[in-house]
A and B are shown apart, each in its own frame.
Chain A
Amino acid sequence: MTPLHLPHYTQVSCVGDGLAPFRQALRTGIGGLAPCHFDGTALPTWIGEVAGLDDAPLPAPFADYDCRNNRLALRGLQADGFDAAVRDSIARHGLRRVGVILGTSTSGILETEIAFRHRDASGALPASFNYHGAHSTYSLAAFVRAWFGLEGPAAVVSTACSSSAKVFAAAARMIHAGLIDAAVVGGVDSLCLTTLHGFASLELTAPEPCRPYDAARQGISVGEAAAFALLERPPATPDAGAVLLLGCGESSDAYHMSSPHPEGLGARMAMEAALADARLTPAAIDYINLHGTATLNNDAAEGCAVGALFDGRVPCSSTKGLTGHTLGAAGALEAVVCALALTDGLLPGSANTRQLDPALHLDYLLASRDAPVKRAMNNSFGFGGSNCSLVFGRGA
């Protein structure tokens, strides 16, 4: 594909608001996971919770969209001047030429869970239950589109843990088709009982902070995050610090609803498609941010595919030990990791990982180190066998 430019990007996760605390976490390996007490839940696991969401309702004009997920979205829009950058893009391109393509898996399901505790004798939900603005999976994009007063195309992509990687591919297609000139892309997923108890039911939640790719890994730490990027056509000569989206690859496992193909066949197809889309060979990649959930099956399958395709020659890591697995936000959050790896010349280490699984043939980064990074790949794989790989690069 023709490269696209990410002039602005930001994140909010359990490590803090904006790029500064995220950079520090990536360098130091000190993240934000803590034992789970979310909403009175006593699951023996650790989570990545964003502080301060309970006491921060959306401003009155947007009260129809108030829910934990959209509060987290607003925190993301307000970080690092992202809101102003989007408004500047709208001023240049027009209200109908800036799309909103966002990923979420949870949307405002937490508020639905709470409403079910308050059903009346007939089983009816309280009148305050908000289907359109909170429960609906589309509510995230509806809120962001309303926040900016946009009148252009919008959608929520909801493909579990690949959602907010696939938004980059969807928005790129729309820009290249001439439908829009820019897009607000990203992902927002928030803590809720469905995902905490759901992953626990699959015995995939770790009783400790998650240890991606570790020989003794025990599962995931569920996290929450908002991560956004602005996607536009690049200037004629992007400067050396510019972050570019070079290629997108998508595939389906066609194997199982909640287990990856054992050799990571679908994952490999997505990585190969992303490289082909970027017209690059595996040797051109300097860093891979792995999906690396820290479940036995995910890391084994992805590690197998990455080992086979890159022959153990490309430095790679999962950064979920810092943030937890932020599910529908993970693709965009880890796109931001790739952007920082490119701009800062940083190979991020894998927080909490002590010893690489010896079965895997990888150049795995236990600790962070400085090195030039010209091109970085981001892997995101979701339940339902939904795979997406993205390739980012630096200008010049």
Chain B
Amino acid sequence: MPREIDLPGLQKLLEPGDVQLIEVLPENEYEEEHLPGSINIPLKSMNPSSVSSLDRSLGTVVYCWDDI
């Protein structure tokens, strides 16, 4: 089951830096502004091919605007 984390939780996860951060919003919203180091995989295009470059041995954090 995916674990929900808040802002302090994310910052704690990012400290050691061994997680990958994915913005799932559309590409134009990602291009305007995104969290440092994040990559963009819009929800609509999330499939085995688009996630193939991700490292499955690492934790993976997804985010959008908030509770959209």
Task: Tell me whether A and B are bound partners.
Answer: no
Residues of B within 8 A of A (CB): none
Residues of A within 8 A of B (CB): none
